[in-house]
Structure 1
Amino acid sequence: MDGKRTRVTKYDLCDHVWQFHFNKEAPEYWRNLDHFWKGGGPLRSRYFHPDGSLTADSGDKTWVGHESCYCVVTSYIGEEKIREHYVRINRWASMSVYRKQDWSWNMSNHLYCYSSIPDADKHGGTGPPFRVV
């Protein structure tokens, strides 16, 4: 049932490490700092916290230590039908949310993309419990 759920919750955001990269429409300056566009190195990590804050690893040149907060916005039509659902960081462009086939999450807008790291091997993790034989 959880794999069919398409509404991300604050718990989902806080329970995962998120990989971050800029999209092609982002300014060239930011893409030049991004490993995704430079062709080497791991993607940047982001961490959502229960208090509504968002952090990155120390030394992340695309983060530069600024403060960030996030919110999850969901509006309904009637009792069950979702009209819109998105995540917003600070006052930046809202991110559309969708669930991938491996049960991980993707949130993106025209400037950047966040992808949760599937963690089926973790107790309480998300994703189908694949076994290596």
Structure 2
Amino acid sequence: MLNWLNEEIVITIYFFARCIRPNSIRGMLLRRGYDRSLGAIERKIISTTKQYPYLKFANGQWDLSAIDRWMKDLVRSQESVNNITRFSLEDAEDMVLKISVDDLLETMDNLGLDFTDPAFNARMASQV
């Protein structure tokens, strides 16, 4: 099996830490040109948290600030981080098919997305 690229790892950890399930992450990776099995994604999450234990607090919750710093170090540029973690309309559609409405709203909140915000709706409309 091929080694994971840093960009794949960033996508996986960024979205998983924000409560997006591995099945949806698999679709996100595919849309970005990476093909990983569900099992490979789950193993990468476990191995990454073992390799970088500071990404989680002692209570097991993700430290999103630490993840943000780690991602920038891993891919060397905030612009690159922004590009590979940009949440697309296709990402949202994929999630809708795989999770409940309550889970979707919670995940959008974790991503800092507000569907009631006109700017969010304009951005989503421009992707159509």
When you count helix as a share of all residues, which structure comes out higher?
2
Structure with larger RCO (C-alpha < 8 A, sep 6+): 2
Larger radius of gyration: 1
Using the size of structure 2 for normalisation, the TM-score is 0.29
Using the size of structure 1 for normalisation, the TM-score is 0.29
When you count strand as a share of all residues, which structure comes out higher?
1
